[in-house]
Chains A and B, each alone.
Chain A
Amino acid sequence: MSSSRTRRPPRASRRGSAQFRLRIGFLMIAMVLSLFAARLVQLQGVDAKSYAAQAMAHSLVTVVLPAERGDILDRNGKPLAESVDGLMIVADPQQTRDKAPEIATFLARRLGLDYFDTLARLRQISCGTGDECRFQYLARRIPAAVATRVVDRAEKLGFEGLDTRRDPARDYPAHDIGANVVGFLGTPDPRKGVRPLAGFERSFDNRLAGTDGTSSYQVGKGVRIPLADSTLTKPVDGEDLHTTLDLDLDWYTARVLRQTVEDARAASGVAVVMDSRTGEILALADYPTYDASDPQDASKEDLGSRALSDIYEPGSVEKVLTVASLMDAGLVTPRTKILVPGELTDGQVHPIHDWFPHGDLPLTLAGVIAKSSNIGTVLASRKMPPRELVRYLRGFGLGDQKTDLGLAGESPGIIPSGPALTPQTKDRITFGQSLSVNAVQMTAAVNTIANGGVYVSPSLVEGSATTNRGEQVGTDHTVERRVVSKKAAHDTMLMMERVLDPEAGVAPGAAVPGYRVAGKTGTAQRVSSDCQCYDGSTTVSFAGFAPADNPRFTVYVVVQDPGISGAGGGSVGGPAFSKIMSFALNRYGIAPTGTKPSTLPVEWAR
């Protein structure tokens, strides 16, 4: 007993009683646990959100899902403008420097890049920021399939430092065809993105662009974590825009127009092909024009459409509108006899002449049109008051009425009104001077004769589409109104047929063999933009439709300021009209009507 008692005290002093040790132990555990608890409260209660956000930021990836821009298509669904999912090829010069010649050779051969330029980029040391260069563009807007293949091949060959980035591109497969209507996109702005600069690309941007979407999800080791938080806002792709243009016909029209303008050494030209019944514009060509896929080199005035932005005095083509109005009012018939003097002086500052010198000519109204006599037209319309004539012309869609094709920058023509509309002005208006039009307005006006006296508003967009300004345009919004009676339109057509007669008319070159064609030449004095006066330059044009007794197409060719001597509507515009019209009739399989052309007398015996 005593021995055990003597042994116990030292043990007790070393380790204390069990209870004491337990208490110490519990206390320590409690302290540690309370530290944990405090940290837990701090993490979960105080900083919870910021920590969660940090964790999310570490693994969360947000990707912009770009909406695909809608295509611009022709009437057969062929693309005039389409989006291509392109890639750019970029290089890291630090990695490419050593093998620069090999890589440059490889890229020059595969992508047709310039060897020396590529070599310089692959060896670039400074990018201008002071730091060492790690990024150089090598090629932009390469179709994705090609770019991926080239970079993969480069990797296999052991060339490092090449990479691809997204670089959506807009392709214009038709290049200059329809470029003035379609427009183009500029180099994308880094912040605002797509920059539509002209044509439909600009005026229908809201419709074409669509809305970008976003997708955010969590990623672990490069692979998306399933069932983790993710949000998806789907992109809304842009809507396609269907135009009424026919790519092949537009191409042919553009080439014929170019040849015509070049051969006439003219300043510019416009050609329009319209479906006579629906007012749909099948071809709209401007020259000079530009290549929509390479618009940088084009001069600024070629970017818009001259068919809408250029206003000019239409000249004798307008006579058909005058005589149609006169016949609708019952004032004349095609056989009305007119004695045409060589000069008309009354009231005019400058006496009115015809394009050819003559003495007193006994012409019927049909002859006045066939020979394109200014004086005859003025005399025939003496009985019609100026306001009445202007009312008719407005009915034909001339004057201050936009054609609403959906293109910005249209200048409607001008018809004098109020005190400016003197009897002398009216006399000049009857043969197409002292009023101005744009080419599409004039096409629609002549088309009214083709369409049996009913004006059909022209359209370039199939169906219905809303422009950025909120205007609804398209074939669904076509307006029709009767301007002159069916009889007046028919009689005008018969007189217009005489214009192409080899003996009676002035424009046999506009004929399409086998078809009845009605047309009218125009050679107008042109107001120069430099001096705002008649400077001796002319506007030559030809408007017509075929088959004359059942019209399907109305074609209008205008050439501004031809530089060759003796250029007139018949000699310059006529052959171009004939080519375009016969191509259109052939392409659409329009059979000749097989009826006899008009034989209205052009002269009368005194």
Chain B
Amino acid sequence: MSSAAPAPESRQPVAGAARTRMSRMAESAVARARLSVVPRRRTPTSRVPFLALVTAILVAGVVGLLLFNTSMQQASFRASSLEDRAAALTAQEEGLSLKLERLRDPQRVAERAQALGMVLPTTWCILELTKQSPTCTAPAATAGSPLRLEELPPVKPASLDPKPVVKHTSRDTDRTSPNRTHRQGRNGHQDDSTGHRDDGGRRVTR
């Protein structure tokens, strides 16, 4: 490629070429001599805003931490007081439901009903929505005796349930013991009445 199109400079005389190179070097030297270091521009800024910022962040941090801690403590107090309240309310609810259970105990309901003279129905009618008239049960011939709600007292063996012993004493022997009612202590109340009535000089002891 170089043989086909040779460069035009290669045909110039050698001396002329040296001179032009020299002048170019001088020019560049001159140009280089003109360059100088530009001094860094230091605008004198105040340190106050920076310090203020740092201080503000610090203060905000400390105050925030303090507030956060305080609110945590507050929340903790509040939580424990609310827990106490919840426990108290749970206990109250439990107490009320216990009372309700006691009130609707079938035994108690039956006792109250019997005290009011209520009896179980011997006949009743059932109304079905698909039928026109209610279906009634036939009335029983007699109303049965009321249901016994309490257990019968246990039958004591004869040795524990002796028959009353009736002793006949004379009127005089009773009169001679005026302090008897006092000696009887807590049971004196009952003896008091028999002691004063004393009809026929009978004393019943068990």
Of B9-17, B58-66, B119-127, the one contacting chain A is B119-127
* Chain A residues, Cβ within 8 Å of B88: 145, 148
Residue pair B124, A586 in contact (C-beta under 8 Å)? yes
Please, how many angstroms separate the alpha-carbon atoms of A590 and B141 in the complex? 21
Q: Which 9 A-B pairs have the closest CB atoms?
A: A514-B137, A144-B91, A173-B101, A251-B106, A145-B95, A514-B138, A591-B126, A145-B91, A226-B72
> Apart from A171-B101, A513-B139, A514-B137, what 12 extra A-B contacts exist at CB < 8 Å?
A85-B90, A85-B91, A143-B91, A144-B87, A145-B94, A148-B91, A173-B101, A224-B80, A247-B106, A252-B147, A255-B148, A262-B148
Closest to A87 in B: B91
Tell whether B102 is near chain A: CB-to-CB under 8 Å. Answer: yes
Residue on A with the closest CB to B91? Answer: A144
Q: Which of B107, B120, B126, B152 contacts A175 (CB 8 A)?
A: B107
Tell me whether B107 and A144 are in contact (CB under 8 A). no
With known contacts A79-B101, A173-B102, A592–B137 Cβ distance under 8 A: yes
Interface residue? A353 (CB, 8 A): no
A583 contacts the other chain (CB 8 A): yes
Complex: how many Å from CA A82 to CA B152? 29
B184 in the interface, Cβ–Cβ < 8 Å? no
The CA of A519 and the CA of B12, in the complex, are separated in Å by 145
B5 within 8 A of A: no
Q: Contact between A591 and B128 (Cβ–Cβ < 8 Å)?
A: yes
B98 and A143 form a contact (CB under 8 A):
yes
Contact-residue bracket for chain B = 35 or more
Known A255-B147, A513-B123, A591-B128; contact A144-B137, beta-carbon cutoff 8 A: no
Question: CB-CB < 8 A to B123: which residues of A?
Answer: 513-514
* B interface residue numbers (CB < 8 A to A): 72-73, 75-77, 79-80, 87-88, 90-92, 94-95, 98, 101-102, 104-107, 110, 120-124, 126, 128, 135-141, 144, 147-149, 151-152
Which of B76, B87, B101, B120 touches A583 (beta carbons < 8 Å)? B120
> Is A439 in the interface zone, CB < 8 Å from B?
no
Min CB–CB distance A8 → chain B (angstroms): 46
Q: Contact between B138 and A513 (Cβ–Cβ < 8 Å)?
A: yes
Tell me, yes or no, whether A498 is within 8 Å of chain B by CB: no
Nearest CB to that of B155 among chain A residues? Answer: A265
8 examples of A-B residue contacts, CB within 8 angstroms: A173-B98, A223-B76, A251-B110, A513-B123, A514-B137, A579-B144, A591-B128, A591-B135
A306 an interface residue at 8 Å Cβ cutoff?
no
Could you say which of A224, A251, A262 contacts B152, with CB atoms under 8 Å apart? Answer: A262
Asked if B135 contacts A594 (CB within 8 A), the reply is: yes
A45 in the interface (beta carbon within 8 A):
no
User: Are A143 and B137 in contact (CB-based, < 8 A)?
Assistant: no
How would you classify the secondary structure of chain A's contact residues: helix, strand, loop or mixed? mixed
Q: Which chain B residue lies CB-closest to A250?
A: B106
How distant is A590 from chain B, measured CB to nearest CB, in Å? 8
B73 x A226 contact (CB < 8 A): yes
How far is it, in angstroms, between the C-alpha of A148 and the C-alpha of B95 when the chains are bound?
A: 12
Task: Kindly report which residue of chain B lies nearest to residue A146, judged by CB atoms.
Answer: B95
Task: Provide the residues of chain A in CB contact with B106, threshold 8 Å.
Answer: 174, 177, 247-248, 251-252
Shortest Cβ distance from residue A48 to the other chain B in the assembled complex, whole angstroms: 27
**B105 with A514: CB separation less than 8 A:** no
Contact partner of B80 (CB less than 8 A), chosen from A145, A223, A512, A513, is A223
Residues from chain A with Cβ under 8 Å of B139 in the complex = 513
A256 at the interface (CB under 8 A from B): yes
Q: Is A258 an interface residue (CB 8 A)?
A: yes
Given A514-B123, A591-B126, A592-B135, answer yes or no on A85-B94 (Cβ-Cβ < 8 Å). yes
A247–B124 Cα gap in the complex (Å)?
A: 22
Q: Which of A227-283 contact B (CB under 8 A)?
A: 227, 247-248, 251-252, 255-256, 258-259, 262
Interface membership of A84, Cβ < 8 A: yes
Distance A146 CA – B141 CA, assembled complex (angstroms): 51
Contact check, B147 vs A256: say whether CB atoms are below 8 A apart.
yes
* Chain A 197-242 residues near chain B, CB threshold 8 A: 223-227
State whether A144 touches B95 (Cβ < 8 A): yes
Q: Roughly how many angstroms separate A252 CA and B107 CA in the complex, as a whole number?
A: 9
A176 CB → nearest B CB, Å: 9
Q: Is A515 an interface residue (CB 8 A)?
A: yes
Cα A225 to Cα B90 with chains together (Å) = 25
A247 CA to B106 CA in the complex, in Å?
8
Q: Do the beta carbons of B120 and A251 come within 8 Å of each other?
A: no
With a CB–CB cut-off of 8 A, which chain B residues contact A112? none
Question: Of B77, B94, B95, B126, which one neighbours A589 at CB under 8 angstroms?
Answer: B126
In the complex, chain A residues 545-602 whose Cβ is within 8 Å of any chain B Cβ: 579, 583, 586, 589-592, 594
- A259 contacts across to B, CB distance below 8 A: 147-148
Separation of A145 and B121 alpha carbons in the complex (Å)? 40
- Knowing A256-B147, A586-B124, the reply to whether A171 touches B98 (Cβ < 8 A) is yes
- Please tell me which one of the listed residues A82, A513, A590 contacts residue B122 in the complex, with CB atoms under 8 A apart: A513
A139 to chain B, nearest CB (A): 15
Asked if B98 and A84 sit within 8 Å, CB to CB, the answer is yes
A226 and B76 contact, CB distance less than 8 A: yes
Query: Which chain B residue lies CB-closest to A258?
Result: B151
CA distance A589 to B128 in the complex (A): 10
B72 to chain A, nearest CB (A): 4
Contact A226 to B75, CB < 8 A, known contacts A586-B124, A592-B137: yes
CA distance A85 to B92 in the complex (A): 10
Closest to B102 in A: A173
Chain B residues with CB under 8 A of A227: 72
**A247 smallest CB distance to B (angstroms):** 7
B107 to chain A: closest residue by CB: A251
> Quick one: closest A residue to B128, CB to CB?
A591
Question: CB-CB < 8 A to A171: which residues of B?
Answer: 98, 101
Which residue of the partner chain B has the closest CB to A147?
B91
| Other-chain contact of A255, B136, B140, B149 (Cβ < 8 Å) | B149
A137-154 at interface with B (beta carbon < 8 Å): 143-146, 148
Complex Cα distance, B106 from A251, in Å, reads 7
User: In the bound complex, what is the Cα–Cα distance between A252 and B87 (angstroms)?
Assistant: 37
Q: A223-B77, A586-B121, A591-B135 are in contact. Are A174 and B147 (CB under 8 A)?
A: no
In Å, the complex CA distance between A144 and B77 comes to 23
Q: A252-B106, A262-B152 known; A84 and B128 CB under 8 Å? A: no
Nearest-CB distance from B25 to chain A (Å)? Answer: 63
Residues of B within 8 A of A82 (CB): 101
B75, B92, B120, B147: the one contacting A145 at CB < 8 Å is: B92
Nearest CB in chain A: distance from B198 CB, A: 35
B-facing residues in A314-351 (Cβ within 8 Å): none
Chain B residues with CB below 8 A from A513, complex form: 122-123, 137-141
Residue in chain A with minimal CB distance to B90: A85
Determine whether the beta carbon of B137 is less than 8 Å from that of A515.
Answer: yes
Q: In the complex, what residues of A have CB within 8 A of residue B126's CB? A: 589-592
Least distance between B81 CB and chain A CB atoms (Å)? 10
Residues in B whose Cβ lies below 8 Å from that of A143? 91, 94-95, 98
Max chain A Cβ within 10 angstroms of own Cβ: one of B104, B122, B144, B151:
B151
Residues from chain A with a CB closer than 8 A to the CB of B138 are 513-514
Find B136's partner among A144, A248, A514, A589 (CB 8 Å cutoff). Answer: A514
